Amino acid sequence: MPDITVSALGLDYADKTAIDDVSFTARDGEFLTLLGPSGCGKTTTLMSIAGLTNPSRGSITCGADVLFDSARSVNRPPEKRNCGVVFQSYAIWPHMSVAENVGYPLRLRKVRKPEIGSRVREALAMVGLDALADRYPHQLSGGQQQRVALARAVTYSPGVLLLDEPLSNLDAKLREQARGWLKEFQASVGLTTVFVTHDQDEALAMSDRVIVMNDGRIEQEGAPEDIYRRPATPFVASFLGSANLLDGTVDAPGRVRLDGGGQTVAVPEDGPLGGVQVMVRPEDVELMAPGADPDVAPLRGAVTSRMFVGSSYRYVVDCDGQSVTVSARERWEPGPVRLRVDREHCRLFPRDTAAGVAGSDRLEESSYA
Amino acid sequence: MTSSTSVSPSVPALRRGGEGGADRLVQWGTWLLVIVLIFGPIVPVVYAGFVDRPLYESGGILTLGNFAALAEDPAFWAALRNTALFALFAAVPGVVIGAGLAVLVGRTDLPLRRALSVVMVAPLLFPGLGVTLGWVTMYSPSGFVSSWAAGQLGSTPWNLYSIPGMALVTLEKTVPLVYLMVRARLSALDTSIESAALTAGAGPARVLWTVTLPMLRPALLTAAILIVMIAFETLGLPLILGGPVDIDTLSTYLYRTWTSDPERQGTVSAAASGLLLLVTLLLWLRTRVEGDGGRYTTAAGKPSAARSLHLRALRWPLVLLVWCYALVAIVLPVVGLVMTSITNIFAPGVSPWSMLTSRHFETVFSNAALLRSITNSLLIGVVGAVLATAGLTLAALVAHRSRFRLRASLPPVLFYPRALPGIVVGVGTFWVFVLVAPLEPLRTTVWGIMLAFIVRNTAVGYAAIHSSLLAISTELDAAARTSGASWLRTCRDIVVPMLRPALAGCFILMFVSLLNDYDPAVFLVTTGNEVLGVTMLKQWAAGFTGPVAALGVIQIAITALAVSIGRLAWGVRPRA
Ligand SMILES: Nc1ncnc2c1ncn2[C@@H]1O[C@H](COP(=O)(O)OP(=O)(O)OP(=O)(O)O)[C@@H](O)[C@H]1O
Ligand SMILES: [Mg+2]
């Protein structure tokens, strides 16, 4: 399977730049995810690869094939790109049976009838739908339609598989199952896959690599653990999981004085200087009794609210005017507490990049919602 | 990756090269065809207005002389004034009655609403001339109702052969149009705003007046503009009712000057260009108003279960009033038409039952020219509807489902013929056939007339396809494209099969429109290519009302048959 390389891709609409300077490579057999909030340009990027949107600049190559290159005015039409695409709505053709849907790409490639039959059966068996070959789309559930779409996208051995939020139409339970199933399927077929989602759990669970996009640009690119543990920007920090972002100033290497009361926290030493934001995730903060040893739990604060979220409690702790969200299994009553912050898991961002934070100093709740 | 062989990579690759060549050819071809067909007939009309001699004479010099001559012709100004009055008299009652009926049916608990709804739109399918004849038998000074009224009141308080009389007869067509437009608007409005006003203590009449009516303003305005457009372009009605008393409207002025005074073709063309400009402006205005309509939309999606206002004591008086209207304006003229076709004389004072005859139908079927007009009209209807449906489908696909560079120009062009007066299309087509030598043989054939009719009615068919096409998700064709299908193949295999009901609708509506159209044909008909409407017009002018009525009845019967088939098989409905 070839690599897909996107370089310096940009697309301008009359009143808006949908994507700008997007570059990445999806390596052979890799499961690459484009993750970002609604309207950040994920679909635009994906559909540019498929040839369904015309970018304004940049280039896209698939192995040695140039699919699009604005400088050389190459723009191969979608039918000549050999991409397998699964659309958000699945786009199963309602006037064709399941088998006809899956066999259509083969018919276009002039494959002989008996072979079409056997390949369709093979593909449907792979997605576990061999019994439903003669049904029509309206007789299928959402999950089954999604599998038909997938089978249709892979029967003709496309060079790359493009998936645009294929799980977003499923209910929560089914989505969970489909996630595991899809990942397995992709690994077994070994297709280079570009997957688009705005669901961070999905991205973290399924991908080999994740590209986080924001407002038409790439924010960060890396393995799931990597970007979760070491977000490059406050935006990434708060878009993936929840993050506390505390304002402060570095007054010595490895020490930040927080705005408000002037309490200090220990942070890793390799960071920016001057005005910073300290990022720490709720699960990396520990609540301790007000009488705890200040060396172990240096921050003073007061629990202002508590929410039961099933596996744990979520607390909001007021720390000299900045609120810190803490996730803990023990039950604490509102009132004074001490906080222990896991130094290794803190990240520092220079204060001026804070402009791009999703939801600014509010905590992003998505992972617990 | 042990199991990666489960998708074996031995699928033949797609052919390379000639990327989208066929697609592009079809797209350009379609676009050019649309542009040539729709603007082709307009060019010579406008051009003829600006040269100093008939188009068939060479060496024409550009001039404004024709417009000057027109401005000096008092008959032109009289015609313009008459048309303006005619438009006014037609628009005001048309909008009031149509909107009133729509509100009563759509928003109140008026009894028998469904039946009324069917009766209200039926006239849209009636041939214009036949119905006019029906009105004449009932309401002309010697008509049934008029004589009865004269007997009761001493004199008839109305006169059909006058501008208000003409306006009265147009109600037949305009009221259903307004009715449909307002109904459509009403069903897009959320009834909860009315309920809110009701709970706030307003009475039903007050709610209608202060809440519903203002929300309808854009629809009422577009309806009024539409009626004005109709008044300006309609030919048959003013010819028949205005002709005998020398009342010219713009279109009859054009028609008469054209047919009686070949020397003045330049002036006629100048007037036709003016008419074209005016109607185009009206269309533009209408689109503007419709576009602004979004502002008045209250909620997306379906309205909550439509609530109806209780009329209480007004219920029965209103029912009576509404059905009286239906009787007077819809039922009686049709009765008049049918009776004329099956009696020797249909006049007051003579019992029609003693006069029954099948003579008129026999005439129609034994007279070669009359019979030919039926077969020609059917031929034009069927062949034209097939061709138009195919062409409009392609055009709609290029406009909405391709990345063709000029695609955005197609929808306005395809809707533009709404503003093309039949006379302009007729004169223009005539000129094209005269001037373009290879097309000359078409001039005296039914195919020439068919082309003119198709051009004039594109908007009807296009509207039917357009809305359904927009309802089909573009991801469905995107999926076919990425699977390896070219644009053309995608259209053929995916979009067109899903569009089938809309195509059937387009076919039926085109058939009915082509069957009933006649304005453009008055300039093209010769022996051999007669069509129903023109034959009726000529027979009537010659005083043979019996055969006219018989032809009208036949026309209604064919239309009704086509529409019922469409309705039963595909749920086709007439629309504004
Ligand atoms: N035809 C268009 N004209 C103008 N702007 C457009 C058009 N299509 C998309 N956009 C804009 O481009 C931006 C990127 O759109 P895109 O569909 O790629 O977002 P997305 O990341 O897929 O979002 P979502 O998660 O909601 O699907 C959006 O801000 C959108 O408003
Ligand atoms: Mg999207």
Asked which of A229, A254, A279 is the last residue of a domain, the reply is A229
Establish whether residue A18 lines the binding site of ligand 1, counting it when its CB lies within 6 angstroms of any ligand atom.
yes
The reply to whether A160 and A259 lie within a common domain is no
| Cα A164 to averaged position of ligand 2 atoms, centre (Å) | 7
The reply to whether A224 and A295 lie within a common domain is no
Whether residues A87 and B478 touch (CB distance < 8 A) is answered with yes
The reply to whether A225 and A255 lie within a common domain is no
Interface test with A, best of B483, B489, B496 (most A CBs within 10 A): B483
pLDDT of residue B572: 58
Give A217-259 pLDDT, tens digit per residue. Answer: 999 999 999 999 889 998 999 888 888 999 999 888 888 898 8
3-state class (DSSP) for residue A340: strand
| Cα A42 to averaged position of ligand 2 atoms, centre (Å) | 6
The reply to whether A258 and A135 lie within a common domain is no
Ligand nearest to the CA of A36: 1
d(CA B478, CA B495): 11
pLDDT of residue B397: 93
Q: Whose Cα sits closest to atom 4 in ligand 1?
A: A13
d(CA B18, CA B67): 52
Ligand 1 pocket test: which of A12, A35, A42, A195 has the largest number of ligand atoms within 8 Å of its C-beta? Answer: A42
d(CA B194, CA B212): 7
Residue A208: pLDDT band with limits 50, 70, 90: very high
| Cα B300 to averaged position of ligand 2 atoms, centre (Å) | 22
CATH number of B361-389+421-576: 1.10.3720.10
d(CA B144, CA B121): 25
3-state class (DSSP) for residue B179: helix
Pick from A87, A154, A187: CB nearest B475: A87
The reply to whether A215 and A264 lie within a common domain is no
Pick the closest to residue A204 from A356, A366, A72, A40 (CA basis). A366
Chain A residues whose beta carbon lies within 8 Å of the beta carbon of residue B3: 188-189
The reply to whether A208 and A251 lie within a common domain is no
pLDDT of residue B197: 73
Contact B191, B212 (CB under 8 A): no
Q: What angle do CA B477, B483, B485 make, to 5 degrees?
A: 65
Whether residues B478 and A108 touch (CB distance < 8 A) is answered with no
Pick from B11, B481, B497: CB nearest A111: B11
Establish whether residue A46 lines the binding site of ligand 1, counting it when its CB lies within 6 angstroms of any ligand atom.
no
The reply to whether A174 and A279 lie within a common domain is no
pLDDT of residue B574: 53
Asked which of A195, A229, A263 is the last residue of a domain, the reply is A229
Alpha helices in A155-273 (DSSP H): 172-189, 200-206, 224-229, 234-239
The ranges assigned to domains in chain B are: 361-389+421-576
Pick from B478, B486, B498: CB nearest A52: B478
Q: Is B1 exposed, middle or buried (0-12, 13-18, 19+ CB in 10 A)?
A: exposed
Q: Please indicate if any CB of chain A lies within 8 Å of the CB of B497.
A: yes
Integer-rounded Cα radius of gyration of chain A: 24
pLDDT of residue A5: 93
pLDDT of residue B6: 41
The reply to whether A100 and A176 lie within a common domain is yes
Nearest ligand 1 atom to alpha carbon A16: 5
Ligand nearest to the CA of A87: 2
| Cα A38 to averaged position of ligand 2 atoms, centre (Å) | 7
CATH number at residue A304: 2.40.50.100
pLDDT of residue B15: 44
Nearest ligand 1 atom to alpha carbon A42: 21
pLDDT of residue B496: 93
The reply to whether A11 and A140 lie within a common domain is yes
Find the domain containing A326 and state its range. 245-367
The reply to whether A290 and A223 lie within a common domain is no
Chain B residues whose beta carbon lies within 8 Å of the beta carbon of residue A47: 478
Q: Which residue has the higher pLDDT, A92 or B150?
A: A92
pLDDT of residue B297: 42
* Paired tokens of B29: 């071809």
Write out residues in chain B with pLDDT < 70, as ranges: 1-20, 190-191, 291-307, 570-576
Contact A319, A263 (CB under 8 A): yes
Chain B residues whose beta carbon lies within 8 Å of the beta carbon of residue A95: 497-498
Q: List the single range of A12-26, A119-133, B3-17, B53-67 with lowest mean pLDDT.
A: B3-17
* DSSP bridge pairs for A266: A255
Nearest ligand 1 atom to alpha carbon A213: 21
Q: Whose Cα sits closest to atom 25 in ligand 1?
A: A38
Tell me if A238 is assigned to some domain.
Answer: no
Number of separate domains in chain A: 2
d(CA B227, CA B221): 10
pLDDT of residue B395: 94
Give the predicted TM-score (pTM) of the model: 0.83
CATH number at residue A111: 3.40.50.300
Classify the phi-psi angles of A29: left when phi > 0, otherwise alpha if psi is within -120 to 50, otherwise beta: left
Residues in chain A: 369
pLDDT of residue A357: 46
Q: In one letter, which amino acid is A148?
A: V
d(CA A256, CA A190): 47
Q: Which residue has the higher pLDDT, A294 or A148?
A: A148
Q: What is the mean pLDDT of chain A?
A: 87
Q: Is B25 exposed, middle or buried (0-12, 13-18, 19+ CB in 10 A)?
A: exposed
The reply to whether A37 and A180 lie within a common domain is yes
Please give the helix or strand (H or E) that residue A280 lies within, else none: strand A275-280
Tell me if A258 is assigned to some domain.
Answer: yes
Residue A364: pLDDT band with limits 50, 70, 90: very low
Closest Cα in chain B, distance from residue A185 (Å): 10
* Paired tokens of A12: 């301008």
Tell me if A239 is assigned to some domain.
Answer: no
Task: State what percent of residues in chain A have pLDDT above 90.
Answer: 43
End-to-end alpha-carbon separation of chain B, Å? 61
Tell me if A236 is assigned to some domain.
Answer: no
* Paired tokens of B151: 């007997």
* DSSP bridge pairs for A217: A214
Contact B254, B269 (CB under 8 A): no
The reply to whether A222 and A249 lie within a common domain is no
Residue A105 has pLDDT above 90, yes or no: yes
Whether residues B484 and A88 touch (CB distance < 8 A) is answered with no
Chain B residues whose beta carbon lies within 8 Å of the beta carbon of residue A150: none
Establish whether residue A128 lines the binding site of ligand 1, counting it when its CB lies within 6 angstroms of any ligand atom.
no
Asked which of A174, A194, A229 is the last residue of a domain, the reply is A229
Whether residues B480 and A89 touch (CB distance < 8 A) is answered with no
d(CA A298, CA A11): 49
Tell me if A171 is assigned to some domain.
Answer: yes
pLDDT of residue B296: 45
Tell me if A213 is assigned to some domain.
Answer: yes
Q: What is the DSSP letter of B13?
A: P
Chain B residues whose beta carbon lies within 8 Å of the beta carbon of residue A89: 473, 475
